[in-house]
Amino acid sequence: MSQAFFADVDVSGFPDDALTDHQKYEHPLVSRYATKEMSAIFSPAMKFTTWRKLWLALASAEKDLGLEINDEQLQQMKDNIYNIDFAKADEFESKFRHDVMGHVHAFGEVAEKAMPIIHLGATSCYVGDNTDIIQLKEALKLIQSKLVQTLGILKVFAEKYKDVPTLGFTHYQPAQLTTVGKRCTLWMQDLLMDYERVTYELENLPMRGVKGTTGTQATFLELFNGDHDKVKELNKKVCNLMGFDKWVSVSGQTYTRKIDYYVLSILSGIAQSAYKMCGDIRLLANLKEVEEPFAKNQIGSSAMAYKRNPMRSERVCSLARYVMSLPPSAANTQANQWFERTLDDSAIRRIILPESFLAVDVILNLLVNIADGMVVWPNVVSKHVMEELPFMATEVILMECVKAGGDRQELHEAIRVHSMAAGAVVKGEGKPNDLMQRIAKDPLFAAVHNKLDQLVDPKLFIGRSKEQVEEFLAEDIDPVLTKECKHLEKEVVDGVNV
């Protein structure tokens, strides 16, 4: 056929009831992956109710500082924070070609007495930027809690397998032994560093505050008749009312976009940690040593019915790769903010800020699921250890024979010859490693013939792996878990919805 089978994109053949549900693009992060909690943080409802809370906070602070705003106006605003007619707001936005003014008028329709003082002295970035910061804060708190949950589950795994010897790998070639639990602590250490970065950001995240059109607070200075102290107090009051004790000292029209870059860098770090962990699990699944959970009726392949593909880990790596690609966009946005503000930051931030959090939210949910059901096959792990351990044990055997009076150079040469021969058997014939059998038959090694089994006990070759796991969990992980549990208990006691 000279033309494509369906040359034109034609949707007229779909039934009418399918137009809404199936003919519009749906973002997979929302429709397929992300949780309701994270989606809600970046939802229109969250965004525009926060705008109204900011307008209420501004009006309340302005009244406290002497502007003519009455309690009835504030009460009407408070009573209608969640009473948003989104269709009406869209109508106003279409009319004014301005989203903030659209919502100012929609708010004013249900809080009529307050209409004259809504958004008094403010610029669009007062609600826009401050809401962005609030959303970042709430999203970081959710990410922080999921990091803690992940660490808690991985702790159980690390403790359980802290002294189970396994092959270490460097360059993906067999190296000295470690333990299954010790390897898990490598994943945990990365996630712990991510938790610490998130915690730091939450403790230091500043609000934009009340800064005015170009950041000079000129309008507010005019409102308060040149009283600088009242303008400063207005900024502090509003920030405190919105739950912030820090704010940017100076700004242009917007808060510095470096904050976005810092936040996306943290999320990229989490994605890196998750990719590393799940990349290891994918490799271990190939070795049949460790597998992620596999549901009873799960199908690994539509063609190869026997397959147990590490699909969750692959999904983590796929999403992580996307998150890791986002910080450069934030960096370029910050670098290209001319003078006090330019609007080329708007569209890109609408995409990368929510999507980075939505993706990391999914990633951490998957890590929890994987860690909670991860399966270790000890016999396979042991088999692989014993295939390589004879080579590693040769130095111990050499030293024992020298201590019994043997000639070090002669013994070394004999071990070299036996090792090469055993390696040829393994690689050339595909047979098990027979190095120990060769040494057991060689009179040069008679001094260790009666204790060869003891000399190749895998636990003699794991160093301080077990102790390192115990120390790491006790000194680094437990304090975090204890701290966060107490924090959650306090929030429950205080009536905060966690």
In whole angstroms, give the CA distance from residue 401 to residue 386. Answer: 22
Domain membership of residue 26 (yes or no) is no
User: SS3 string of 193-214?
Assistant: HHHHHHHHHHHHCCECCCCCCC
Is residue 388 within 8 A of residue 349, CB to CB? The reply is no
- Is 105 noted as a catalytic residue in this protein? no
Kindly give the interhelix angle for 327-335 and 346-373, rounded to the nearest 10 degrees: 160
Residues 112 and 134 in one domain: no
Residue tagged active-site, from 94, 301, 318, 346: 301
223 and 356: one domain? Answer: yes
pLDDT at residue 455, as a whole number: 87
- Per-residue pLDDT of the chain (498 residues), as tens digits, is 455 555 555 555 555 555 555 667 788 888 788 889 999 999 999 999 999 999 999 999 999 999 999 999 999 999 999 999 999 999 999 999 899 999 999 999 999 999 999 999 999 999 999 999 999 999 999 999 999 999 999 999 999 999 999 999 999 998 899 999 999 999 999 999 999 999 999 999 999 999 999 999 999 999 999 999 999 999 999 999 999 999 999 999 999 999 999 999 999 999 999 999 999 999 999 999 999 986 544 545 544 544 578 999 999 999 999 999 999 999 999 999 999 999 999 999 999 999 999 999 999 999 999 999 999 999 999 999 998 888 888 888 888 899 999 999 999 999 999 989 988 988 899 888 888 899 999 999 999 898 888 888 999 999 999 999 999 999 999 999 999 887 655 554 444 433
Give residue 321's identity as a one-letter amino acid code: R
- Joined together, the tokens standing for residue 304 give 């190869």
Interatomic CA distance for residues 211 and 169, integer angstroms: 55
> 290: part of which helix (H) or strand (E)?
strand 290-291
Domain count, the chain: 3
3-state secondary structure 31-67: HHHCCHHHHHHCCHHHHHHHHHHHHHHHHHHHHHCCC
Selected catalytic residue, list 2, 171, 249, 302:
171
Q: Report the relative pairing of strands 290-291 and 173-179 from DSSP bridges.
A: unpaired
322 occurs within a structural domain? yes
> Do 112 and 155 fall into the same domain?
no
Residue 282 covered by a domain: yes
Answer yes or no: is 14 within a domain.
no
Q: What is the domain-level CATH number for residue 408?
A: 1.10.40.30
Contact 147, 198 (CB under 8 A): yes
**Same domain? 452 vs 332:** no
Single out the residue in 73, 94, 117 at which a domain terminates. Answer: 117
The answer as to whether 266 is a domain residue is: yes
Q: Which two tokens stand for residue 345?
A: 């930051």
Rg (CA), the chain: 31
- Relative to beta strand 165-170, strand 290-291 is unpaired
User: Domain boundary at 441, 456, 471, which?
Assistant: 456
**Amino acid in position 50:** T
- The two three-digit tokens of residue 206, written as one number: 């500043």
Look at residue 352 and tell me if it is in a domain.
Answer: yes
Strand partners, 173: 170
Same domain, 369 and 385: no
Is residue 171 part of the annotated active site? The answer reads: yes
Structure token digits, residue 437? 């059998």
b/e per residue 228-267 (b: at least 16 CB within 10 A): eebbeebbebbbebbebeebbeebbbbbbbebbbbbbebb
Is residue 162 within 8 A of residue 182, CB to CB? The reply is yes
Query: Which residue from 374, 237, 349 is spatially nearest to 294, judged by alpha carbons?
Result: 374
pTM above 0.75, yes or no: yes
Do 336 and 247 reside in the same domain of the chain?
A: yes
CATH number at residue 231: 1.20.200.10
Same domain, 222 and 348: yes
**Cα dihedral sign, 44-47-50-54:** negative
Cα–Cα nearest to 108, from 69, 77, 68, 71: 77
pLDDT of residue 391: 83
Domain that holds residue 386: 380-456
Residue 363 and residue 317 in contact, taking contact as beta carbons nearer than 8 Å? no
Q: What pLDDT shows up at residue 489?
A: 56
The one-letter amino acid code at 172 reads Y
Kindly state whether residues 245 and 139 are assigned to the same domain. Answer: yes
The pair of structure tokens assigned to 326 is 């986002």
Q: Is residue 330 part of a domain?
A: yes
